[in-house]
Amino acid sequence: MAGFFCLKTIKVNNILKNITYFPGCAGSKNKSLGDVFEKLGLEVELIANWNCCGAPQSHNRPSFFDKVVMPLRNLGIAQQNGSDFIYSGCQVCVKQINEAVKTINLNSMLRSQAKYSLEPFNASLKNIESDSAGAIHLMDIITDPDVTANLLNNTVRNLSGHSILLYTGCYHDNRKTDAFKEILESFGANVNIYRECCGGEKLQNTTPVHSKRVENVSGIDAFFKKINRKADEINSDYIIAICSMCEKNIEDGVELSDLDVFAPVIGLTEYIGFLFGLHNFGDLISLVVNNDVNDEKRKLCV
């Protein structure tokens, strides 16, 4: 953690940033996250009447509506309310939205078509520049120095004795996942990172889990067994999935696989709620080790 920042210079729970949050389909069942974001110093507005980013559908039957209009509708709604960027815990959603922005930047005809398609939804885009509009993963803001300071200052869990497989999947910035790994290690955890792709939207469709296509079932089972072999090799107590699509594919594996023993999985925002000691966050993880953070760790200067 050397070279990051010193906790004593940061004011805890000060509102640092207002963000617009897009849960996406895979993250839509998350618990109320208001307390989590507040303790991180974030004031969050949920996109009203959000829709699926279109990634699962566009993988199985590519169309302009699924690949461009569906993701941009969410961004357009956010921009109508003053936000050029939206934040999501799903890397698939982030990629789908940013690819859609890139598509209309590269092709004026598609840009006009998107504008026409978005108008009936009252979701017209005010800003389409790729470097100043789009989607950002929550990991990008959690590892912001000021936000990380609030994370460290509000953590009440001692992770000594916790062996964690931090599953980062296709998330692109290894520096930030390495920084998050060091944060967890500063509270006593033993953390290993696993970066292989989960299969993403390719393993999803819009039907119930037991009605998935045969190839999807096979893919989910193979991925589930692979990540659990990794967890078993390093004796992990549980898996933290920083992407809600990765978490969803692991949870589907629980239902579809014939494995009798497997590592429990928890999503990023729920795990942070667990670190904060919030009620009903990380209940399963609490069964592993349940200790408080001591004063010395609170004073840690990183």
Count CB neighbours of 135 within 10 A.
Answer: 27
Predicted confidence band at 2 (pLDDT cuts at 50, 70, 90)?
Answer: very low
Tens of pLDDT, residue by residue over 49-58, are: 999 999 887 7
Domain end point (choices 86, 109, 139): 139
How many domains, the chain?
2
**Domain end (from 76, 107, 139):** 139
Is the same domain home to 120 and 203? Answer: no
Same domain (yes/no): 162, 282: yes
Mark whether 123 and 31 lie in a shared domain: yes
Do 19 and 93 sit in the same domain of this protein? Answer: yes
Mean pLDDT of 282-296: 61
CA gap 161, 170 in Å, rounded: 28
Residue 139: band (very low, low, confident or very high) from pLDDT cuts 50, 70, 90: very high
Residue 174 pLDDT more than 60? Answer: yes
pLDDT tens readout for residues 12-44: 345 678 999 999 987 666 556 889 999 999 999
pLDDT at 214 over 50: no
Q: Does some domain include residue 1?
A: no
- Can you tell me the distance from the alpha carbon of 114 to that of 74, in angstroms, rounded to the nearest whole number? 13
Nearest residue to 100 via CA among 139, 144, 146, 52 = 52
Q: Are 166 and 290 within one domain?
A: yes
Per-residue confidence at 298, pLDDT binned at 50, 70, 90? very low
pLDDT at position 223? 84
Same domain flag for 107 and 198: no
Residue with more model confidence, 185 or 204: 185
What's the mean pLDDT in 90-100? 96
What mean pLDDT comes out for the span 264-277? 94
Q: What is the pLDDT of residues 64-81, one digit of tens each?
A: 999 999 999 999 999 999
What mean pLDDT is reported for the chain? 84
- Which one of 139, 172, 195 terminates a domain? 139
The CATH number of the domain holding residue 267 is 3.40.50.11810
210 has a pLDDT exceeding 80: no
Provide the domain limits for residue 106: 14-139
pLDDT at res. 258: 76
Domain co-membership, 294 together with 167: yes
Q: What is the CATH number of the domain that holds 109?
A: 1.20.1050.140
| Residue 275 amino acid letter | L
CA proximity to 97, closest of 121, 126, 76 = 76
pLDDT at 89: 95
pLDDT digit string, tens, across residues 221-257? 888 888 999 999 999 999 999 999 899 888 888 877 7
